[in-house]
């Protein structure tokens, strides 16, 4: 797959209730979702032929759509089954799935009351989000200039396409400096999240993570918190200020794409991937591995 544009991959995509050839899964240039960001999506991982936390992801897709005033014309069960069928049709066991819903091209303008809500599901092979050899050494993060907006300015709990504009800008800027990703603060200057992952820190055996009051409470984040608590680790969800990073010992990020990835550096702050990060990397790997 390396080097092949995503619109030129092989296989089929589930598109409004039927499978179409990959290259024919197209939208018109005047699609509302392209011009006005009226689009919501999910990122899901399949391991050993099973999609991890599938229904939670589908339910969040429906919640996100509702936040944008969109009614998905299928049930949660129907989308779950469509995801499974897409994975099977692609002949993949370990893969990434991207369900997406968007407003169509029936009306062009800010108002689009009559536009069809389209749904598609694509599936492809996708290895580790970060270099596997570098992962356990800890990735390096920049600190983004852009901040997560206030909840009264955006539908911050939706996984909506428009909310990722500043994430793309932040990640591009970080990569240009040689970093793997960027940490974003929120509109108040508090530690928030990375461009596509939640963040955790440790100190004296206690895990600390920002309160997701203006950004996504990730499904992987919830899984890792449960895994930590199962081990008897204390997890504190609270406000974290940037200067506190000087005193934290370990840091790791979580997400469907990132899974659990240790961090060695955030701007001027340094961390050493240690026993807590390693334990949760191992526990998450077991949790997503069927039969493990």
Over 234-283, what HEC string results? CEEEECCCHHHHHHCCEEEEEECCCEEEEEEEECCEECCCCHHHHHHHHH
Q: Is the pLDDT of residue 267 over 50?
A: yes
137 is catalytic: no
Residue 144: both structure tokens together:
């983004």
Q: What is the pLDDT of residue 1?
A: 42
Q: Is the pLDDT of residue 39 over 90?
A: yes
Q: Which DSSP string corresponds to 111-153?
A: --TT--EEEEEEEE----SS-HHHHTT-EEEEEEEEEEPPTTT
Q: What is the pLDDT of residues 193-242, one digit of tens each?
A: 999 999 999 999 999 999 999 999 999 999 999 999 999 999 999 999 99
Q: Is the pLDDT of residue 131 over 70?
A: no
**Are 256 and 219 within 8 A, CB to CB?**
yes
**Are 13 and 20 within 8 A, CB to CB?**
yes
- Positive or negative, the Cα torsion across 72, 20, 121, 17? positive
Which residues partner with 185 through β-bridges?
147, 191
Q: Is the pTM of this model over 0.85?
A: yes
Classified by CATH at the fold level, domain 6-124 comes out as D-amino Acid Aminotransferase; Chain A, domain 1 (3.30.470)
Q: Is the pLDDT of residue 2 over 60?
A: no
Q: What is the pLDDT of residue 291?
A: 77
132-288 maps to which CATH number?
Answer: 3.20.10.10
Domain ranges of the chain: 6-124, 132-288
Q: What is the pLDDT of residues 104-120, one digit of tens each?
A: 999 999 999 999 999 99
**Are 98 and 51 within 8 A, CB to CB?**
no
87 to 1, 152, 290, 291: CA distances (angstroms)? 17, 38, 15, 19
Q: Do domains 6-124 and 132-288 have the same CATH topology?
A: no
Catalytic residue among 56, 159, 203, 230: 159
Q: What is the pLDDT of residue 3?
A: 80
CA 30 centroid distance within chain: 27
Burial pattern 90-117, b for ≥16 Cβ within 10 A else e, equals bebeebbbbbbbbbbbeeeeeebeebeb
**Cβ contacts of 127 within 8 Å, gap of 6 or more:** none
């Amino acid at each position: 797959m390396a080097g092949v544009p995503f619109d030129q991959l092989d296989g089929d995509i589930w598109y409004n209730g039927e499978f179409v050839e990959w290259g024919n899964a197209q939208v018109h240039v005047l699609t509302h979702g392209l011009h006005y960001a009226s689009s919501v999506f999910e990122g899901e991982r399949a391991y050993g032929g099973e999609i991890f936390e599938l229904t939670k992801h589908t339910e969040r897709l429906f919640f996100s759509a509702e936040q944008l005033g969109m009614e998905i014309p299928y049930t949660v069960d129907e989308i779950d089954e469509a995801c499974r069928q897409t994975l099977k049709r692609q002949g993949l066991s370990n893969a990434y799935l991207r369900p997406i819903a968007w407003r169509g091209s029936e009306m062009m303008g800010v108002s689009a009351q009559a536009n069809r809500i389209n749904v598609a599901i694509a599936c492809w092979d996708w290895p580790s989000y970060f270099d596997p050899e570098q992962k356990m050494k800890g990735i390096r993060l920049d600190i983004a200039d852009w901040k997560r907006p206030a909840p009264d300015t955006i539908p911050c709990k939706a996984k909506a396409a428009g909310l990722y504009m500043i994430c793309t800008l932040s990640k591009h800027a970080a990569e240009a400096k040689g970093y793997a990703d960027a940490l974003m603060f929120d509109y108040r200057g508090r530690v928030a999240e990375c461009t596509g992952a939640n963040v955790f820190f440790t100190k004296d055996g206690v895990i600390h993570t920002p309160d997701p009051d203006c950004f996504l409470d990730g499904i992987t984040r919830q899984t890792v918190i449960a895994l930590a608590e199962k081990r008897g680790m204390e997890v504190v969800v609270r406000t974290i200020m940037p200067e506190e990073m000087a005193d934290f010992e370990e840091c790791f990020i979580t997400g469907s794409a990132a899974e659990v990835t240790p961090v060695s550096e955030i701007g001027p702050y340094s961390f050493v991937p240690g026993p807590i990060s390693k334990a949760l990397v191992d526990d998450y790997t077991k949790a997503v591995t069927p039969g493990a």
